[in-house]
Structure 1
Amino acid sequence: MKLQENYKKLIIELICFLYALLFVYAAASKLVDFERFQVQLAQSPVLSIYAEWISYFVIGFELIISGMLLFSATRIIGLYFAFVLMSMFTSYIFIVLHYSSFIPCSCGGILEKMSWKTHLIFNSLFVMMAAVAIIILKNKRQDDFSITKNSSKIWTLLACAIMATTAVVILFLSSEQAIHHKNPFVRRYPKKAIELYKTIDLRWNSYYFAGYEKNILYLANYTDPLHLLSIDSDGKQKRIKLYLDYRNQSFKSIKIVVQDGWFYLFDGTLPRIYRGNTKDWKLTAELKRTPKFSLAQPMDSVTIAFRNNTGNDRANVIGIFSAEKDTVLYSQNLLTRQIDGIFDTDGILLYNQNRKQIHYIYYYRNEFITADRNGELMRRSNTIDTNKQAKIKVAYLKNNTERQMAAPPLKVNSISAVRNNLLFINSKVPGRFEDEKFWKKSSVVDVYNLDNNSYVLSFYVQEIPNQKIQNIFVTDDHLYVTAGTNLMVFNLGYLLKSEMKRESELKTDR
């Protein structure tokens, strides 16, 4: 009998020692690189928005449990806590493996070397060990370990496991809801959101994206505006000469756009808009009586969305120009003034061809606008950063007839692209729990779903040394990035492809 008691005591001591060793080691590993631990928690698909308080809770709870297991007076409570905490860890891994959209890594030390499935088995064994130790401790005065005699203890353990699992499920569901719809500026970087397919040397750093048609990408050149470079899906390049019948015209700021079998030459300083057919690449028609513009995007062959500063007090305003009807319709309330109406409303104008919508992304605040093709506001949306107010200072010169920036502004959003229901925005503001080392050598792109007005994910674009990214362009399958003299082609990963509605789906919705 005494020998049996010694065996039971040895089993309990061994289990408590293993738990204490595991928790102390795990807590120490997290404390040694606490910032990295928080970053990893922030990338968890289960706990993202709770990363800050959970990081402290887990470490503290692990150390408290380890201490409780060392003393006989608190050992049984410590074992129950250990059982609950390890049940939560096990539930977390199970959810990550079977229900999350991607699998991160948030383990420390030697545990980081385990695969997630191995870690699930490892945690399950420790859950069972805690259960065995609890039952042995509760049966110190009896030798019957049958299920019948211990049913109450088993039900108690089962209830604890259910509560632990329920807590993790609630955290998962609430975190997923918040990360996409009420994001507290915690970015999510799933693995393989994009993968580099190839890099093409363009030889010049003055290329920009003109359009994409029939699996052919078109690039225009600021320094050689009457030539295009086409690149097909196999990477074959072709130089295209544009023929202009208006050679006597003196251009100042040319932009080329290719869309729906047409190509356009814009110069907002004149202002002039010319149109030609991509069959012969000849600019044969001028859209007469074009209003002056600083930004413009064609919506169809005779209708242009544009921005100029003819609003109140010379503020920026969005307008729709119809060459067919010879009309200009201004949407005076689309852009909202915060400071001066010019610098504070500066941004990027995009036209979503598949959805027939206008998008405007502000540079200096966390907002973008969606309007229909008539310029009517559909919704105002926010990016996940917290800069609601433009942080700029404006100096008024020459009796208020000229304005300029009085100090370097905080730029929130930069280059952007839209494809179907997804909006891609290059952000300039680091989020919470982010490694600033990556920001020094990478550009971050945030992706938003225009259908449900939600944040989807973020990804890094690794920059080539001394060559910052200049433009981005997105198709159904690829992300194109110009950086210096290079064109980088990325394959879109599963998460982005599954989130993106294809053109056929959009037509069905309409």
Structure 2
Amino acid sequence: MKTFKSRFVECTGYFFILLFCYASISKILDFENFQIQIGQSPLLSTYAGIVSYFTIIIEIAIAFLLAIPTTRRIGLYFSIGLMAAFTAYIYIILNYSEFIPCSCGGILEKMDWNTHLIFNICCILLAIISFFLEETDRNKNYKRTISVVLFMLVFSSGMVVLLYYTSEYMIKKENNFIRRFPHHGVVEIDSYDLKFNSFYFAGHDNDKIYLGNYTSPFLLIALSKDLKSYEQYVLKPENYKTFKWSSTKIKVAPPYIFLYDGKIPIIYKALIGQTEMKIVSVNDAYFSDLENVDNDHIALRYKSSNTGSNRLGLLNLSEDNRIKLDDSSLDGNGLFETDGQLLYSPFSESLIYVYYYKNRFDVFDKTISQKAIHHTIDTISRPKIKVVEMKNGIKKMAAPPQIVNAYATVQQDILFNRSNLIGRFELRKHWKNNSVVDMYNISKREYLGSFYVENRGDNKMTQMLATDQFFYTLIGSEIVRYRYAQVISKQLTRESPKPIKE
């Protein structure tokens, strides 16, 4: 005749059989989504492949052990270990993770993380009581039973902690192209229809977002940061009729506005709010991009006459010997291989060069004399481009290149990089409907996480601008404003960019 104690142990075994069978079958039926959830976990991203298979196997194995009376004791023992591991995972998520992901699916899909934690603790207590009853029936050595249970609890929890610390290091420092997506990284607040899709971000200050226009090169739009009002300026460069304009752009670096065309080459400068532009450089050097560094210095990207590759130089407006070119500043051969985007962070007083066709960006001091090499999380270290030389000597791409880093913006010490490549454990349907932005802490040399920017109809994001409080994108003819999730906003100290003294 079965006693209450034996029935209690038996019912506990059936409960865990039901729990583990349901959980494992749910994972198998939706394995791709389960593996993606593990891959984007803030704790186990690096081990997503191993953990996803191991979890299912161990759940099924424990269910079999519990179903056989002679191995039920062993099944209860491993149930304690597995539930302890799950509990440690949830505890770390709630208390030490940089962000809390969406709740897992299956039998617990309606529970939040705190409810998960309570449920798991109750399961551990149930398994411990049943194991204790089963074990003491065979062996009256209570101290040994308690020691065995404590060992399993410590071992299982310790393994999760070990996985957490090693995964954190590998994700931030030695990432093998696994992205982590904080829940709702950016949330759309509002938008403004510009009517045309020819605008680009020229810069920002404490109050306004500035837009240039490719088809109207002297037009500058100043939008309030809440997108509620705007002003329109037509810049008036001196002697503009004497030049043949072909590649004209505007850049705003408070308190200045720059108008430039590197093919002439010429650079104009004025204070924000003024429309009359004065020449500060003409025929000093041909260039393809610039960033204002301080009151007297402008960083240039130019084509080296020695190598035919893109390189960086510094224009000193206060000296007679104004230009300093550095043919060793960028790595790579050829114009296309060294193609990229030049940025400047007033917060850290550093220049950043993001390569388009490989997983790399270089960080320079403002004199371009010191360089630190950084890598993005994807694995393309060599550009996948094919170049042919025409009969007239001009080199062109023979096939569309594989773009790695499509566009970037910097705010304080955080680089926001729009990646063009899908990572591991990511759904292709998300890439069809969104653009992905990866974030890097420049000074700590760490990958911070990623977020999606949703398409608007058939239009994808073409440009982006990060400020200390909001994130802006250009999508089609609209400018869209987003607020940061807390996990992102806490990375920004909300200090204003260092203004350049007049």
* Structure 1 residues 97-496: aligned runs within 5 Å: 97-105=94-102, 107-140=104-137, 150-234=142-226, 235-248=228-241, 249-325=243-319, 326-337=321-332, 340-398=333-391, 401-496=393-488
Q: Structure 2: how far apart are the matches of 1:87 and 1:464?
A: 44
1:366 and 1:296 map into 2 onto residues whose CA distance is: 22
For 1:90, the aligned partner's letter is T
- Correspondence for 2:40: 43
Give per-residue Cα distances to partners, 1:305-330, cap 9 Å, x unaligned.
11121243312211111122142212
Q: Distance in 2 between matches of 1:151 and 1:238?
A: 79
Residue aligned with 2:171, SS? helix
For 1:141 and 1:398, locate their aligned partners in 2 and report how far apart those are by CA, in whole Å: 90
Shift of 1:286: 3.3
For the pair 1:10 / 2:7, whether they are aligned, the reply is: yes
Q: Is the 8 A contact 1:30 1:59 kept in 2?
A: yes
Letter in 2 for 1:77: I
Query: Is the CA contact 2:280–2:317 (under 8 Å) kept in the aligned structure 1?
Result: no
SS of 2:137's equivalent in the other structure is coil
Q: CA deviation at 1:506?
A: 8.9
Instruction: State the match for 1:34 in structure 2.
Output: 31
Amino acid at match of 2:77: Y
User: Identity over aligned residues, as a percent?
Assistant: 36
List per-residue Cα deviations over 1:261-303 (Å, max 9, x = no partner): 2111110111111112224221023323330011222223432
Q: Equivalent of 1:60, from 48, 57, 60?
A: 57
Counterpart contact for 1:334–1:377, Cα < 8 Å: no
Q: Distance in 2 between matches of 1:19 and 1:110?
A: 12
Q: 1:275·1:287 contact (CA, 8 Å) conserved in 2?
A: no
Distance in 2 (alpha carbons) for counterparts of 1:391 and 1:82 = 50
Distance in 2, Cα, partners of 1:250 & 1:448: 40
Aligned equivalents of 2:356, 2:431: Cα separation in 1: 18
Aligned to 1:76: 73
**Structure 1 residues not aligned, in runs of 5+:** none
Which moved further from structure 2: 69-78 or 473-482?
69-78
SS of 2:354's equivalent?
strand
The answer (yes or no) to whether the contact 1:88–1:168 under 8 Å persists in 2 is yes
Aligned length: 496
Q: CA RMSD in A?
A: 1.8
State the alpha-carbon separation in 2 of the partners of residues 415 and 204 from structure 1.
Answer: 20
| Cα-to-partner distance string for 1:317-357 (whole Å, 9 max, x where unaligned) | 111111221422122222111xx421111111111122221
Gaps of 5+ in 2: none
Distance, in Å, in 1 between the alignment partners of 2:494 and 2:369 is 25
SS at match of 1:341: coil
Q: Report the Cα offset of residue 382 of structure 1.
A: 0.2
TM-score with structure 1 setting the length: 0.94
TM-score with structure 2 length normalisation? 0.95
Q: CA deviation at 1:491?
A: 1.0
> Is the Cα–Cα contact under 8 Å of residues 460 and 476 in structure 2 kept in the other structure?
yes
- The ranges of structure 1 where at least 4 consecutive aligned residues each deviate by more than 3 angstroms after the TM superposition are 501-507
Counterpart residue type for residue 454 of structure 1: E
The letter of the residue matching 2:412 is N
Mapped contact 2:269–2:277 kept (Cα < 8 A): yes
Shift of 1:105: 3.1
Q: Is the 8 A contact 2:132 2:145 kept in 1?
A: yes
Tell me by how many angstroms 1:502 deviates.
Answer: 4.3
**Structure 1 residue 141: deviation in Å?**
6.0
Aligned-partner SS, 1:451? coil
In the alignment, the residues of structure 1 paired with residue 50 and residue 205 of structure 2 have an alpha-carbon distance, to the nearest angstrom, of 49
Tell me which moved more, 128-137 or 478-487: 128-137
C-alpha deviation, 1:198, in angstroms: 0.7
